[in-house]
A and B are shown apart, each in its own frame.
Chain A
Amino acid sequence: MAKIKRKGQTGQAKNYMTRTQAVKKLQISLPDFRKLCIWKGIYPREPRNKKKVSKSASASTTFYYTKDIQYLQHEPLLQKFRDQKVLEKKISRALGRGDVGDAARLERNAARPDQTGKPRYTLNHVIRERYPTFIDAIRDLDDCLSMLFLFANLPSTTAVPAKMIARCERLCLEFQHYLITSHSLRKSFLSIKGIYYQANIQGEDVLWLVPYKFNQRVVGDIDFRIMGTFVEFYMTLLSFVNYRLYTTIGLKYPPKFDEAKDNQSAELAALTLEGAGLTTTAEEPKATIANGEEHGPDPKVQAEVNKLVKKLRFEDDAEKPDAEMAEGGDDGEEKPTDGIDKFEPAAPGGDVLPQPTYSGNDPSKLFSNCVFYLSRETPRQSLEFILRAFGCKRIGWDSVLGEGAFTTDESDPSITHQIVDRPIIQAATAEEGDGEDNQTARKLGPNQRYPGRIYVQPQWVWDSINNEELQAPDLYAPGAELPPHFSPFVKATQGQYDPTIPLEEQQTEGEALDAELADAQDEAESGEESEVENDMDVASDNDEEDGDEEEGEDEEEEEEEDEEDEEEEAALQRQRELEAELEGKAVKNKKVDPKVKAKLDKKKALERQKKEEAEALERAKGMLSKKKRVRYEQMEYSNNKKSGEAEKLRAKRRKLEKEKKSKA
């Protein structure tokens, strides 16, 4: 007799495990299991057939791979969890006995990351397992950064200990410092949710979201234990990533942290970067320039140093910070990591290849010649970070914004740009007429301006870095209506609406025709009263511009009608001609504006073409197999939806433009 097969012993059922089974197998509590899953990156799977997989009668919802759970069984953290559990038991027993001293002693041994912000265990091995190479870690940095930046801005509560927040903040600052020194920030975007940043680290694009500096509201049922578990992992990850990043650009990690400065909300300036061998502060060059001693190094000494450095490099090709870094001055350009090598032909005759560049402009030079002053209403943290990352060395701000400014004196003559975000006071504009003119606005008290510097709104900075060139400041002058702020992350796709290019370049032929017709109609209406009947219904069609969707649906019907109309019209025309011939009169043609007529004809031709295409499509669709047809229809549905949205946006824009035109 064949062996009896039991349910759940073979096939798919063997590969999957429900969560309850997994927890039982690992002999840990559900919260511990959750932690383990989060850290080890184990997630549930969706079996192809749930019924085949589930071993119980009731429908289970969460399935894990059995192999995943087996892999968790060998996790050293599991032992730590168990130890912790034993310890907790001991403490509770001691407390039950009334043995407070013993309980306190045991309590001291207990790891309470939720209170102290630091656990007894380390997650190093987990990180190494999950990210076998550094680039893997970089690839997965999006969520990590978003989470840590959010936690750095959270208020400390019982669920979120202050130490954790402080650590998050510090790690974030360290990371920002890396981006500043390596000039790897690429894009940034002011969204309604916060500020998005995109950096390019070792060829990987990392995108993260930083909330605006406000107290975050905690709404809804949010389990901070889960968030805390993630943060714990991310903190460890980012500290290792930071270490690696710092060491690759020849900096010492961790950077020196000045607590006093940090307490005065110096933020970025609280950290002092040091070279791996030599000590140099990031602020030093800034400080020297701030004093106005723009001393270049003595040319002789410089030459000597250069020679020495070259020699050193030959001897030891490990990246060492240049000697001149300590001297300050022009260190940014000479960093080996920053520069782009130029490939020049050593011998004539070879093909000329395009030079390696990552963009037309060097991001480290965008603001390098500018000195900024931030008014107190501007977001200092984000502006400072962006300006620094794009080469600005000297940034001053109002003293209420915190420590670390190059100058707090607004009248400093070296300032070239001032970022303001306050409205023009009415009286001033009334008198001046034009608030954008710096020269005139300067004279007034409340809107006092210093001559010789450019006043812009903060958006100017963002638009400049996204477009990789300084934007015209007059568009961003204080009080001016800002141009729309575009997301730099959207890649233009065919058929999608793109607000950055004019409408004419992206609208479909039909839409353009409709629009022109509508225009012509309007003109005609304003001019003449009499209208051709046929045109009337076309016009009414066009009036329904907003309800374009419906039009698409019963397109076919309309087309048919149109065709019939056409035939009838032709017949009528012939009839008329015949009658005229009989009577010997000239043909009475109805008055039709020739332009409109041409357009109408064009439209009709377009519709006919459309109809033919639809017919061909129908024929081709009939030849598809059922599977392919279903797939085709799905694609068509989603494409139609997308194009419908784009069409809607185009229609809106057309309307807006028209309104603007009529106003003007």
Chain B
Amino acid sequence: MKAKLVEKKRKSRDLESDSESDDELGNGLFDGVLSASEDEEDYIPSDQIEEDESESEGSEGSDDEADGDDDDILSDDIPSDIDGETDMDKLRRDAEELEITEPFVDPKPKDEDTEGRNYRIEKDANGGERYVYEEIDPVYDSDDSDAQGPANTIGDIPLTFYDSYPHIGYDINGKKIMRPASGDALQSLLDSIEVPKGWTGLTDINTGNPLNLTDEELELVRRVQMGLVPDGLHDPHPDTVEWFTSKQETMPLSAAPEPKRRFLPSKNEAKQVMKLVRAIREGRILPYKPPEERQREEEEKEEVHFDLWQDEEPSAPNPMHIPAPKLPPPGYEMSYNPPEEYLPSKEEREQWEKTDPEEREKDFLPQKFNSLRKVPAWGTLVKERFERCMDLYLAPRVRKNRLNIDPNSLLPKLPSPAELKPFPTVVQTIFRGHEGTVRSVAIDPTGVALATGGSDGTVRVWELLTGRQVWSVKLSSEDPVYTVRWRPTKDAFILAASAGEDIFLMVPTHSSVTPTLEKASREVLAAGFGYAANGNTPAVAPGKEPAGKWSRPGTRLEDEGVLVKITVRSTVKVINWHRKGDHLATTSPEGQRSSVAIHTLSKHLTQIPFRKLHGIAQTAAFHPSKPIFFVATMRTIRCYDLQKLELVKVVQPGAKWISSIDIHPGGDNLIVGSYDRRLLWHDLDLSNRPYKTMRFHPKAIRAVRFHRGGFPLFADASDDGSLQIFHGKVPNDQLENPTIVPVKQLKGHKVVNQVGVVDIDWHPREPWLVSAGADGTARLWM
């Protein structure tokens, strides 16, 4: 069926083409039109065309040609076809249609124009008419269906550029495309009056023809301009469809009964309400008031007064609380009109101005105004108050006990020295003769002679009261005589002196020594030799050096009266006799184990009582009445019982370096002098620690000594060149403490090489004192 339809069409077309060719043979203008009209059918698939061809064999030849054309057209792109379809073509087509209709109306004239035709009519094999066309020369610009009419090639430029020309551009072949005939004035007028449908007043850029748009197109443009959806059918606001409620559900979702709480008042709400109620009751929520009124009310509220201390009850103040100290009241100098003596002098003013404000004792200078009206405001009053405020809250408060007492009340009540007389006060005699330091002094038991030993190695004996030298001997040329001590009994007149490692025992002969006494003395010294000769000497281990070697010092010294020499192992610095005069203890600090030795005169025997000593021995002494032996090392004093041979007591004076000790004739008290400037009084019954510590000397104390003749006196000698006399009374009652009163400071010795007074000794009966100084003198004070 289909094929038949095509055939029919074909036939009719054939007819058309016939008429065409009849009509306008030489009119090349319509070529395109033809092809265009053919085009519409050219979309028929080729096989169908072939079918057609096979069916319509008669027109095969021309068909072939046409086929070739058709193929071209098919190969050609469709857009070009559409582009090329200009207004002109349309117009032409319209005109053609009109013409096409003509042959149907009047086919005759066709026949008449056979001579002008470009074909010839021949007879085919069937005897039918056959139109034979002339062969077309397909030159470049021949009419081909491809060329879509005169396409303007001027490109993308406005047509107005060609306004002044007759053409409007160029076609593909470079030929001018002439301006299409525009209607004459009347026509244009008519056009203007009768706006054609779809008229836009615009001109097509490509063709220069007026651009008309269809209604649909115009509508589309309008919608785009309005910002609407271009599709006119789209409804932007459709009616809502209630999804759930639009339909009435007939069955309930749950069959549970309504809970009770839905019928009870809410507890939470009640709580909230109560909260508000409470706030209102308590006055936290107040009804609104205008601000002015509120402010006024507040001011009134401030004026609430009541007695804060209505039910006051005094409570004990916190012991840790320290009330702020009050500012001191103003004194006379702060007056606006002070007495004139308070006004600062020029120097005081300068001084005040010079000192730093923080270091000033007073923050103001007294000023005088002769009238009250002249007193200005105090410049720093605000600042002072501010500083007070700062002090109140920022200053740490410390309670300081200020002793507001007379300082003299601190001083002990000492009896006046006048009541404690007698004691030595002035120099009576000065003993000059020694070269260099006088190392030691001693007054003999009778109180007549004074023995001194000096650095020059001599021992001298003087008449005490006159100061006349009566006897002298040089014991050593190198070693100084460190110490001289008289034998403490009156039956003999024996002096012990040490020089270097030797201890000499001598009988200084002078006028006051009676021959009997001298003889007795010599006998005492000589007795030992006999003892030694008797062979009673204890056996000394062979190879071991004896502690002391007793010998005669040689004829020179023996002629002078020096009768015995004891040689020990190291330099002897201190000699102390036993009260009975048979023993003497020597101390040589460098001697280490053998630093303390006890010599027995009657047996010419030397013993070393200690195998080992705690520290360096400084001095050793016998107890005045008991068989007790004291050994002072640098720090401690040890008391040994000589009968039981045991340690009785260790006294600790607390001094760093003991220089000398002396035992009170009563035996219960002890004084200690130390190189660290202290004089210590020990009560041996009371404690190991000192009973009193006295610091009167700025320099070391060298010697201390009790008076042994009944006066409650003791003295010390110091390197500052002074002596101090103390009244030290030991009561008979054991319970009472001894009274110690300094009574006198004796100055006179000169300090040589930082050594002042070296040794002292009391007169055995009188309150007289002898001192030995580094200045080469010995002095008698009375």
Contact = CB atoms under 8 A, between A and B. Distances in A.
Interface residues of A, number: 100
A623 B412 contact: yes
Given A154-B382, A619-B742, A132 B341 contact: no
A490 B339 contact: no
B181 interface: no
Contact of A211 (B338, B381, B692): B381
A545 interface: no
Interface string A418-461: 00011100000000000000000000000000000000011100
B385 interface: yes
B337 to A, nearest CB: 4
B306 A624 contact: no
Contact of B332 (A490, A624, A650): A490
Interface string A481-521: 11011110110000000010000000000000000000000
B327 interface: yes
B335 A484 contact: yes
B337 A631 contact: no
B414 A189 contact: no
B386 A226 contact: yes
Interface stretch (B96-104, B129-137, B198-206, B369-377): B369-377
A332 interface: no
Interface string B312-323: 111100001001
Contacts of B185: none
B335 A486 contact: yes
Nearest to A39: B393
A621 interface: yes
A632 B411 contact: yes
A210 B416 CA distance: 56
A217 interface: yes
B309 A133 contact: yes
A133 B315 CA distance: 8
A597 interface: no
Interface string B578-601: 000000000000000000000000
A43 B395 CA distance: 7
B379 interface: yes
B706 to A, nearest CB: 19
Q: Would you call the interface of chain B mostly helix, strand, loop, or mixed? A: loop
B696 interface: yes
A399 interface: no
Nearest to A44: B396
A192 B331 CA distance: 11
Given A132-B313, A192-B334, A216 B375 contact: no
A620 B416 CA distance: 10
Contacts of B306: 243
A34 interface: yes
A535 B183 CA distance: 158
Interface string B298-316: 1100110111110011110
B330 A487 contact: yes
A81 interface: no
B386 A108 contact: no
B335 A622 contact: no
A220 interface: yes
Contacts of A636: 407
Given A132-B313, A133-B314, A489-B329, A226 B390 contact: yes
Nearest to A40: B393
Contacts of A37: 393
A193 B397 contact: no
B338 A150 contact: no
Contact of A622 (B380, B410, B694): B694
A313 interface: no
A421 B307 CA distance: 43
A227 B330 contact: no
B725 to A, nearest CB: 11
A133 B313 CA distance: 6
A610 to B, nearest CB: 15
A574 interface: no
Contacts of B383: 219-220, 222
B332 A127 contact: no
Contacts of B178: none
B84 to A, nearest CB: 69
Contacts of B375: 190, 192, 212
B420 to A, nearest CB: 11
Contacts of B334: 189, 191-193, 487
B339 A499 contact: yes
B367 interface: yes
A448 B227 CA distance: 105
A421 B337 CA distance: 14
A63 B396 contact: yes
B410 A239 contact: no
A487 B696 contact: no
A481 B743 CA distance: 59
A215 B742 contact: no
B336 interface: yes
Interface in B354-393: 364, 366-367, 369-373, 375-386, 388-390, 392-393
Contacts of A489: 329-331
B394 A43 contact: yes
B545 to A, nearest CB: 48
A562 interface: no
Nearest to B413: A620
Nearest to B742: A619
B695 interface: yes
Contacts of A653: 339-341
A458 B307 CA distance: 39
Nearest to B326: A142
B324 interface: yes
Contacts of A616: 414, 416-417
Nearest to A208: B327
A481 B416 CA distance: 55
Contacts of A190: 335-337, 372, 375
A333 B547 CA distance: 107
Contacts of A239: 305
Contacts of B5: none
B170 interface: no
A480 to B, nearest CB: 10
B338 A485 contact: yes
B691 interface: no
A622 B499 CA distance: 37
A192 B381 CA distance: 10
B125 interface: no
The 6 tightest CB contacts between A and B, nearest first, are A489-B329, A214-B377, A635-B407, A652-B341, A46-B396, A499-B339
10 contacts: A43-B397, A44-B394, A133-B313, A146-B388, A150-B382, A190-B375, A218-B382, A490-B331, A619-B414, A649-B342
Given A62-B396, A211-B378, A635-B403, 15 more contacts: A37-B393, A43-B394, A43-B396, A132-B312, A132-B315, A143-B392, A150-B382, A192-B375, A192-B378, A193-B334, A212-B378, A222-B383, A230-B392, A484-B335, A656-B341
Interface of A: 34, 37-38, 43-46, 62-63, 65, 67, 108, 118, 124, 127-128, 131-134, 137, 139-140, 142-143, 146-147, 150, 154, 189-194, 196, 198, 207, 211-212, 214-220, 222-223, 226-227, 230, 239-240, 243-244, 247, 253-254, 377-379, 421-423, 457-459, 481-482, 484-487, 489-490, 499, 615-626, 628, 631-632, 635-636, 639, 649-650, 652-653, 656
